[in-house]
Structure 1
Amino acid sequence: MKNEHNMAKRSLLYWAELFSRQMVEKQAYETLKDTITINILNFDYLQETDEFHSEFCLLEKKKHFLLTDALAMHFIEMPKLRQKWRTKEVTPQKDPLVGWLLMLDGNDNEEIRKQLEVVAMGDPMIDRAMKDWEVASADPQLRELYYDRKKAILDQLAAVEASNLKAEKAKKDGIAEGVAIGKVETICQYLEARFGVESQVLQEKIRTITDLDVLSRITNRIFIVAHLDDAIALVQDYLVSQ
């Protein structure tokens, strides 16, 4: 995930949606399964720690005892992991989690890939995962999907950064609508990067919205939709609720 400066609330929202989705009519609460969110971040997030893996749960404020293990949130900060790996504070040999996480960088980092090949000789699961990745990489269609996804992520990052700069400039220029303008640009540029020209009609509708609260709620949800129809329905729901 990229840095949108709202990871705690985003993660809590995702958890709540997953947890509540289990509930059906007349279902007993005891049957609800524990729900875990895992956030793999490509930026430094938690300034209070230099650990790359942090876990949060529901604890009593004074005595620190656990209320329930139904909720757990994991934050994995890849830049911290890379730094600890470079300084040899962590290694795939000592911590299997390190190996699995480094596989995310293995396709773009020759040094990581070579180290994982050594680890794979003694770890059947890593070995199988790497072989599966090699097979997938050899498939032109899967490889194309991988690079399309990578390009979409880079386009999304660029769109968000550009809109943030526009919003900041607008605020510095004393334009009261600066924040709303920035959010409109964020949403529209993401839609353009994610769905292309097919999203033009939806973008035009977005540009007519001036309610900052509505724009904020759309921004918090738009990045998790899988299809253009889902994005259209999301925006329509918020417009109806105005």
Structure 2
Amino acid sequence: MPTTINRLNDFYVKYLLGSEKRKHLTIHFLNAVLYGDDAPQIADVFFLDKDLDPERADGKPAKLDILAKTDQGMLINVEVQVRRQAHLAERFLFYWAEMYGSQMKRGDGYNALKPSVSIILTEFDHLPEASWHNAYSICNDVSRRRLTDHFAMHFIELKKFTYSDVKALHRLGRWTAYFSNCGDRETEELAMSDPVMKEVVQAETAFTEDEIMRRKYSQREKAVRDYISAMDEAKHEGLQEGFEKGMERGIERGMEKGIQRGIVQMAVKMLENGIDRHTVAAITGLSEQELAALKTAAAGGCDA
């Protein structure tokens, strides 16, 4: 099957992993991220987020992610990040905090809180680690003892992911190969090597053949492109303006230094010609102390 879509388009990710119809795929993906090839621990999920339009009225693309609760009460947020931005760690932490805090209702005790997990797929290198899957938790700096199992943040950096044999990949590796927009041959091999991935590929085919879905997908792609273009243009204009202001300020400072140097040289000449310091100070604006220092320097043969 030819790859005709961007699998990291978050509208498509939400179609694939955020639907009641295909939630068995979501369960498989979440178990792969959290537990690898170990026995699955998530048996069911309930979607908590609502569908959003691909583009908001203000022109900024709406954030399309997946928020689900497992049968054990764990909250999991899945987000796709295709563009590097400033303060990403703080942003992800803020979203996690919102998710975690949203569990508390009036009258609840802290025992009502359940573990909350963020899963972030990035299309760029973000972390210093060489590995493509990194999980963060809250641990003691020395003993490495985990403070709580209520916080976890998983990063899957697709640019770091490499493989030579699709059939040799583990469960999460197959999902990662798929989301890394692998080629047609690798996609066919994925479908042949795993019945779950075969369903994923079939879902993609159904998506591409649905005119309404394709239109929403295209709207999302356009919204993201336009937003990125607008941000890049604003950044370029800001840099250009800063450069021009810097040039202007540099010229001004250069002129100021040149004028000041000319005044100093004129003052030295006047002093050498026997004009008294009081008169020179009145003409040049230099203080008599400055003129005294200039006269001493000139007498010693120093360049003013």
TM-score, scaled relative to structure 1: 0.62
Q: Can you give the 5+ residue segments of structure 2 that lack an aligned partner in the other structure?
A: 1-80, 247-304
**What amino acid is the match of 2:228?**
L
Q: Can you give the 5+ residue segments of structure 1 that lack an aligned partner in the other structure?
A: 176-242
Determine the structure 1 residue equivalent to 2:17: none
Determine the structure 1 residue equivalent to 2:101: 20
Distance change in 2, residues 1:9/1:164 (3 Å): same
Tell me the distance in 2 between the aligned counterparts of 1:117 and 1:102.
Answer: 12
Shift of 1:13: 0.4
Distance change in 2, residues 1:62/1:174 (3 Å): farther
Greater CA drift, 155-164 or 69-78 = 155-164
**What amino acid is the match of 1:136?**
F
Determine the structure 2 residue equivalent to 1:140: 211
CA contact (8 A) 1:93 1:119 kept: no
Structure that is richer in helix per residue: 1
Aligned to 1:69, which of 142, 149, 152? 149
Shift of 1:174: 4.0
| Partner SS, residue 121 of structure 1 | helix
Matches within 5 A, 1:56-95: 56-81=136-161, 84-85=162-163, 88=164, 91=166, 93-95=168-170
CA contact (8 A) 2:132 2:160 kept: yes
TM-score, scaled relative to structure 2: 0.50
Tell me the distance in 1 between the aligned counterparts of 2:190 and 2:107.
Answer: 49
Determine the structure 2 residue equivalent to 1:55: 135
CA contact (8 A) 1:53 1:76 kept: yes
Alignment partner of 1:169 is 2:237 = no
Shift of 1:70: 0.6
Determine the structure 2 residue equivalent to 1:196: none
Shift of 1:11: 0.4
Tell me the distance in 2 between the aligned counterparts of 1:153 and 1:96.
Answer: 30
> How big is the alpha-carbon RMSD for the aligned residues of Structure 1 and Structure 2?
2.0
CA contact (8 A) 1:58 1:68 kept: yes
| Partner SS, residue 56 of structure 1 | strand
Tell me the distance in 1 between the aligned counterparts of 2:129 and 2:170.
Answer: 19
| Partner SS, residue 193 of structure 2 | coil
Q: Percent identity?
A: 25
| Count of aligned pairs between the two proteins | 165
Tell me the distance in 2 between the aligned counterparts of 1:28 and 1:99.
Answer: 41
Tell me the distance in 2 between the aligned counterparts of 1:173 and 1:135.
Answer: 52
